[in-house]
Amino acid sequence: MSPRSEKRGPGRTAVDRDASTVVAKSLITRALRRANTYHLLHGQPGIVALVVPEADADIYVDVAHSMLKRSLKPFHPDDFEVVRWTGKPPKAGFRSEDEALKALLPKTERIFGIACRTDDIPSLFRNVADAIIEVDSVDLRALQGVFGAILGHVPAKHDLAPVVGAPLHLLGAAIKSGRNPGWALRRLRGFTTAASEPTPQKSLSGPSLSDLHGYGEAAAWGHALAIDIADYRAGKITWADVDRGIVLSGPPGVGKTIYARALANTCSVRIFVHSLARWQSKGYLSDLIKAMRAAFDEAKKNAPCILFLDELDAFGDREQLSGHNENYCREVINALLECLDGAESREGVVVVGATNLLHKIDAAILRPGRLDKHIRVPLPDTAARIGILRHYLGDAFPETALSDIAGRLEGATGAAIEQLVRNARRSARAARRALLVEDVVASLPERIRLSEAAFRRASVHEAGHAVVGHVLREETGSVPTAARLFREVLPDGSGGRTDFDHELGADRTRAFYLAQITTLLAGLAAEEVVFGNHGGGGGGGDQSDLHVATVLAASMETSLGLGQSLTYRSSNRPAEIMASVRADPELRRRVGARLEDRFRRARDIVGGHRPALDWIASALRDSGRVTTEDIESALTRSAIPADRSHSPDLLKAASTIGIPDGK
């Protein structure tokens, strides 16, 4: 599958930088050690219930899931269950929580139960549990630990004392990597004070951020914004103290528009939804710009509010403009920048932009004072998919049933899950009966289980993207952040994908484009190195590796002036470029030669890092995912010169440090 491009700052992963996660891990670890059940985090069997504050229950569920999965990786990453009890009996499938638990116990030997009250824990669980532990609230020790871990400085005890007992989600909103510790402490004090005051009732229909699942950093940012807007309304802070813009990026269907509406509900403000296409429908350029300015004026009259700009990448990038529409597009972008400029010119208006293609947005739009905050919305993980199902299904089915369904929705977006539930309800209505688990299961998309051979080929393919992407990161300005592998896929789906963080403003020279093409062809090259041939997984659709690589190679000749001639022949729109390729035999020959050259280059890189390739492919088959740290570690350990990469002695040495030889 084609590498994806996103932007993320350097340093640790988002999870490592999240204060709420750091503290939750610490408090869970402390609780398990206190009850002599820490063996659960070393892959040993165990059944434990944790009693946690209700406000932070979702965080504890996610962290418990992550800790258990990590403890079992890479051998049995899914051989566990995390169950949350709310005190409400199951409404379908099981007559009681005890009955649901009886069905669960034979399936796994490792269970974390999360409850907000001891009374919510089923009686059967109490009888079989190794321990029922009340997790400590956030104390001085936890605060000292998280300030030290995230900010590298621990405030004095008397400064921390007023925020002892703060909820985890407020810690996550206040304590962010790179912030001044004193400022973070003041923010935390402000948050805890605001949290103790009455919350205004939601005046708009639809969900709030608390109702959504899988939004992670975006949800934390939104909750912090709600507090800021409340303080702004109360006159406690000025608009200059409020984050005034954000860009959400991610694949189609992850719920960027739903997030914006939920953000407005959480902040108890109105939302105004716009897009370039809507403004263009007004007529000529002057009409478009007039509609754009009117939209911002309307928002200012209703401040504080949210102004949502969908498909932000449609505005384009002035560095990439060409052809007869160049002046038109440049004026549109300049008008948008004028509307975004200055805190005073749009006081009270928070602009939320959404895009599937962050790297296609003009860098000036993302500069400080405009939309300078970027958060990637990922595909929902298992815990988030369970939460989304629960949101749309209510309490109709037990957690075990939702877990089974969520496990079969790997790679599904929130929009796809919503459609699944709608289809299931339609089936139940047609049968004139209540919704059953069987209706939801019957609505699941058809999945094909990859054969052992196809599964191994897919793992090698994604490992190739990861290896070459990391080796060429300086040339491309992109770093592979994660590679994923799926055992079951949709009929037209890919067996995996590799995600990349793309540096905005990269120097787009000839070397940049050649390295991009090399990375795109790396999956097929890796297959050829390992198997002696490559499959058809690199082609097919208009987002496939081969299509994107062909468009890039042709654009160097037709529109970028980076080929044999400086002659401009077409715009950089893929359809126009491919039309030129089809019409011109000589252009096809040059593009084909360039692709063959880049394929050989990718093959050489993969061959020179064979131990790392094999290790990453094996890790993908074992756990389904590798991180940027995993990729970097594998390549560091296999730092073998390319011309000696197949030396038996060196491969033997590599295997002694945990990198398989691929035999």
Buried b (16+ CB within 10 A) or exposed e, 294-321: ebbeebeebbbbbbbbbbbbbbbbbeeb
Please, which contacts does 183-188 make with residues 24 or more away whose CB atoms are closer than 8 Å? 184/147, 184/151, 185/147, 185/155, 185/159, 185/160, 188/163
Dist. CA 503–CA 510, nearest whole Å? 17
- The answer to whether residue 446 is catalytic is no
Instruction: Provide the edge-to-edge strand list for the sheet that holds 4-6.
Output: 4-6, 496-502, 478-485, 625-627
Comparing CA positions, the residue from 469, 526, 471 lying closest to residue 500 is 469
Dist. CA 140–CA 153, nearest whole Å? 14
Using CA atoms of 165, 171, 177, 183 in order, give the dihedral in degrees to the nearest 10: -80
State whether residue 320 is helix, strand or coil: helix
Q: 425 phi and psi, to 5 degrees?
A: -65, -35
DSSP codes of every residue in 144-157: HHHHHHHHS----H
Using CA atoms of 579, 582, 587, 589 in order, give the dihedral in degrees to the nearest 10: 150
Tokens of 251: 């694949």
State whether residue 84 is helix, strand or coil: strand
Dist. CA 485–CA 624, nearest whole Å? 5
- The answer to whether 617 and 484 have CB atoms below 8 angstroms apart is no
State whether residue 36 is helix, strand or coil: coil
Comparing CA positions, the residue from 565, 570, 660, 579 lying closest to residue 620 is 660
* 3-state percent helix, strand, coil for the chain, nearest multiple of 5: 55, 10, 35
Give residue for tokens 């995600």: 499
Q: 563 phi and psi, to 5 degrees?
A: -110, -140
Comparing CA positions, the residue from 640, 647, 622 lying closest to residue 77 is 622
Which residue in 6, 97, 399, 462 is the catalytic one? 462
Apex 252 CA angle, 423 and 261, nearest 5: 80
Dist. CA 603–CA 614, nearest whole Å? 14
How far apart are the two ends of the chain, measured CA to CA in Å?
A: 25
Dist. CA 626–CA 619, nearest whole Å? 7
- The answer to whether 498 and 5 have CB atoms below 8 angstroms apart is no
- The answer to whether 233 and 304 have CB atoms below 8 angstroms apart is yes
Q: Please give the radius of gyration of the chain, using alpha carbons only, rounded to the nearest integer.
A: 26
State the catalytic residues: 462
